[in-house]
């Protein structure tokens, strides 16, 4: 995936309509300060005048007047078809002469930015007036706040550990995770368990700790990993592998058959993100055997496992791994609370020790207070109670989403009823570009995830969530999307 350009300016500032200074003068002063301070540098592009007028809640004539003055000052320049940019010459360069060119430092960084669509979603999800049908977390209404409050109350009566933790995580928590893993058929010593700040950090540690530059990371098509640049930032290459109704099928790609050193395979076999597919036990054995024979390690991302809605999923691949081929990842983020920022990685001791050393260089361990809360969750049985509560309410939301899709999307798209997790993968008919639907929805404050984010071969698919919105917003969102989709199909 190519390194994305970072030359577009993002503006969160808004003029104060109660201030004595006019809106026009506030805009000029703000732009002038951003440029002269070096926050905006030569060549960066501004949003369109129409967009700026919408953002600031003013007439376009006000924006035009402000842009004209800033251009006259030599701070901005325009070009035919290129929009308005921070000036490359004149006063702008003289003003910035003593300011470091931070944009050049940003561009020189090896760590790639998120893909632009993901940046837009991440930025807008926290703004008021946005309908979040894209978000990858449970609704606050589903959070087991009472259980967490009870645990915090119990901890207040105990002697808390408040020093730096063991590099692998507090031993008592790892024993609790060990018992939790055993319920799913994974039996490992606590020396093979590393406590991390969520599954995303586990992937980051793997990328910097054991992935060689130019290595190939085989991923499902489509894949959650396709929306990130974690592995590409260390020089690795993502290689898409076909999926069928049973999940990833590595034997269907020549790239996989050719083997190669330092390759690995990443998969979400249980309630796959974004499709919701569940890999049956027979396919899990086949994939494990296929990769083991070719000495290709597997990263098994199992963060959605406990959110089954119809029946428990098959055991993880790690449960049948007899050769140390699988590095297993899970967390509390999807199934209980994203705010805990706590997960775990399970693998061969040498790998765990290597990644623990890398983690200590990053943050010196997950918060010990969070670790003690998580330990109490597991040992008290409250985690199971809380997840059961979430499943019951999430099942109702899933069923309601299926009713809405049947009512509003019949004839427009195809989908499968997910048996767990909180996403539904929708394939648009007539090859309607999902990016066009995304942009049209965005103009009305409705956020969705277009399929191209997960793989360039899925540009006529979208991912919606039923785990976050209340019913009335979910219904309004699905209905409005269907109207937009009909309009696009008629064009």
pLDDT at 79: 65
Q: Report how far apart, in Å, the C-alpha atoms of 487 and of each of 224, 437, 481, 490, 491 are.
A: 29, 10, 10, 5, 6
The reported pLDDT for the residue numbered 3 is: 38
Read off φ and ψ for residue 407, nearest 5 degrees. Answer: -75, -40
How far apart are alpha carbons 45 and 99 in whole angstroms? 19
CA 200 to CA 368: how far, in whole Å?
19
Element (H, E) at 487: helix 471-490
Q: Which helix (H) or strand (E) holds 79?
A: strand 76-79
351: which residues sit within 8 A by CB, 6+ positions away? 209, 210, 327
* Equal CATH topology for 23-109 and 121-142+387-490: no
| Closest alpha carbon to 269 in 253, 254, 259, 282 | 282
pLDDT of residue 38 exceeding 80? no
**CATH class given for the domain over 121-142+387-490:** alpha beta
Distance CA 199, CA 379 (A): 21
469-488 pLDDT, tens digit each: 999 999 999 999 999 999 99
* Beta-sheet pairing, 446-447 with 423-428: unpaired
CA distance 45 to 30: 16
Report the share of the chain in percent with pLDDT over 90.
Answer: 61
Q: Would you tell me which CATH number, out of the four given (3.40.50.720, 2.60.120.260, 3.40.710.10, 3.40.640.10), belongs to the domain 145-384? A: 3.40.640.10
Dihedral (CA of 341, 345, 349, 350) sign: negative
> Per-residue pLDDT averaged across 116-140, rounded?
87
| Backbone phi and psi for residue 172, each to the nearest 5 degrees, phi listed first | -65, -35
**Contact between 422 and 308 (Cβ < 8 Å):** no
Do β-strands 264-267 and 298-301 pair in parallel, antiparallel, or remain unpaired?
parallel
Cis geometry, peptide bond prior to residue 420 (ω within 30 degrees of 0): no
Band (pLDDT 50/70/90 cuts) for residue 1 is very low
CA-to-CA distance for 26 and 16, rounded, in angstroms? 8
Output the DSSP codes for 371-408: HHHHHHHHHHSHHHHHHHHHHHHHHHHHHHHHHHHHHH
**In this structure, what token pair is assigned to residue 346?**
């399970």
Is a pLDDT exceeding 60 seen at residue 93?
no
SS (H, E, C) 250-289: HHHCHHHHCCCCCCEEEECCCCCCCCCCCCCHHHHHHHHH
pLDDT digits (tens, 9 = 90+) for 40-76: 877 788 888 888 988 898 888 889 888 888 888 788 8
The whole-number pLDDT of residue 258 equals 55
pLDDT at site 376: 94
| Angle at the Cα of 262 from the Cα atoms of 259 and 263, rounded to 5 degrees | 50
Per-domain residue ranges of the chain: 23-109, 121-142+387-490, 145-384
CA distance 9 to 108: 18
Structure confidence at residue 412 (pLDDT): 96
479 phi and psi, to 5 degrees?
Answer: -60, -45
Residue with tokens 């049956």, as numbered in its chain: 280
Sign of CA dihedral 408, 413, 418, 421: negative
Distance between CA atoms of residues 466 and 418, nearest Å: 11
Stronger pLDDT, 487 or 490, i.e. the higher one: 487
Say how far apart CA 440 and CA 430 lie, in whole Å: 17
For the chain, what is the mean pLDDT? 89
- Asked whether the CA dihedral 38, 43, 44, 50 is positive or negative, the reply is positive
The contacts of residue 413 (CB under 8 Å, 6+ apart) are 405, 426, 427, 428, 429, 485
pTM of the shown model: 0.83
Bigger pLDDT: 62 vs 283: 283
Model pLDDT for residues 213-247, shown as the tens digit of each residue: 889 999 999 999 888 889 998 989 999 999 999 99
- CB neighbours (10 Å) of residue 140? 9
pLDDT of residue 99: 62
Average pLDDT over residues 186-204: 96
Output the furthest CA–CA distance in the chain (Å, rounded).
73
Cα separation, 69 vs 178, whole angstroms: 65
Separation of alpha carbons 388 and 33, rounded Å: 53
- Which pLDDT score, from 0 to 100, does residue 82 have? 67
For 435-468, write each residue's pLDDT tens digit.
999 999 998 899 999 999 999 889 999 999 999 9
Higher per-residue confidence, 183 vs 75: 183
Going by pLDDT thresholds of 50, 70 and 90, the confidence category of residue 259 is low
Evaluate whether 232 touches 266 at the Cβ level (below 8 Å).
no
pLDDT band at 326 (very low <50, low <70, confident <90, very high): very high
Query: Which residues lie below 8 Å from residue 301, measured CB to CB, with a gap of 6+?
Result: 199, 203, 224, 266, 267, 268, 329, 330
Please report where in the chains the tokens 């003013």 appear, as a residue: 58
What pLDDT sits at residue 4? Answer: 38
Of 252 and 308, more confident = 308
Write down the CATH number for the domain with range 23-109: 1.10.10.10
Sequence-ordered list of residues with C-beta below 8 angstroms from that of 39, at least 6 positions apart, any chain: 102
pLDDT at 197 over 80: yes
Please state, in angstroms and as integers, the Cα–Cα distance from residue 226 to each residue in 186, 273, 341, following that order: 28, 10, 22
Do residues 457 and 221 lie in contact, with contact meaning Cβ atoms separated by under 8 Å?
yes
Exposed, middle or buried by CB within 10 Å (0-12, 13-18, 19+), for 30?
middle
Label residue 95 by pLDDT band (50, 70, 90): low
């Amino acid at each position: 995936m190519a390194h994305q350009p970072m030359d577009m300016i993002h503006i969160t500032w808004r003029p104060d309509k109660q201030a004595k200074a006019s809106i026009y003068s506030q805009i000029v002063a703000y732009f002038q300060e951003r440029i002269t301070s070096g926050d905006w540098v030569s060549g960066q592009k501004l949003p369109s005048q129409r967009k700026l007028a919408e953002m600031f809640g003013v007439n376009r004539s006000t924006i035009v007047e402000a842009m004209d003055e800033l251009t006259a000052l030599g701070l901005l320049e325009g070009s035919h078809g290129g929009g308005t940019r921070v000036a490359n010459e004149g006063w702008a360069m003289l003003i910035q002469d003593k300011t470091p060119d931070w944009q050049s430092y940003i561009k020189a960084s090896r760590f790639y930015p998120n893909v632009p669509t993901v940046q837009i979603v991440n930025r807008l999800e926290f703004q008021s007036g946005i309908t979040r049908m894209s978000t990858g977390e449970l609704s606050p209404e589903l959070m087991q706040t009472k259980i967490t409050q009870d645990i915090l109350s119990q901890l207040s009566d105990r002697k808390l550990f408040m020093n730096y933790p063991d590099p692998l995580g507090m031993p008592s928590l790892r024993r609790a995770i060990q018992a939790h893993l055993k319920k799913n058929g994974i039996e490992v010593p606590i020396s093979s368990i590393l406590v991390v700040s969520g599954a995303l950090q586990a992937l980051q540690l793997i990328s910097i700790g054991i992935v060689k530059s130019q290595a190939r990371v085989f991923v499902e098509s489509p894949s959650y990993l396709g929306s990130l640049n974690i592995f590409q930032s260390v020089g690795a290459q993502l290689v898409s592998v076909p999926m069928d109704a049973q999940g990833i099928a590595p034997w269907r790609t020549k790239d996989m058959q050719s083997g190669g050193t330092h390759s690995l395979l990443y998969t979400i076999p249980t309630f796959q993100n974004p499709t919701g597919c569940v890999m049956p036990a027979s396919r899990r054995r086949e994939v494990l055997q296929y990769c083991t024979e070719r000495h290709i390690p597997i990263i098994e991302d199992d963060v959605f496992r406990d959110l089954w809605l119809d029946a428990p999923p098959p055991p993880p691949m790690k449960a049948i791994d007899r050769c140390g081929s699988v590095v297993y990842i899970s967390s509390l983020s999807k199934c209980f609370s994203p705010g805990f920022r706590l997960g775990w990685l399970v693998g061969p001791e040498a790998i765990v020790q290597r990644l623990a050393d890398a983690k200590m260089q990053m943050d010196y361990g997950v918060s010990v207070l969070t670790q003690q809360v998580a330990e109490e969750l597991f040992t008290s049985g409250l985690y199971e109670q809380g997840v059961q509560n979430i499943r019951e309410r999430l099942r109702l939301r899933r069923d309601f989403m299926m009713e809405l899709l049947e009512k509003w999307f019949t004839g427009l798209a195809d989908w499968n009823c997910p048996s767990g997790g909180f996403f539904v993968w929708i394939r648009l008919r007539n090859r309607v570009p999902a990016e066009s639907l995304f942009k049209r929805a965005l103009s009305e404050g409705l956020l969705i995830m277009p399929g191209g984010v997960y793989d360039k071969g899925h540009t006529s698919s979208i991912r919606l969530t039923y785990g976050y919105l209340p019913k009335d917003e979910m219904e309004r969102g699905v209905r409005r999307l269907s109207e937009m989709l009909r309009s696009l199909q008629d064009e």
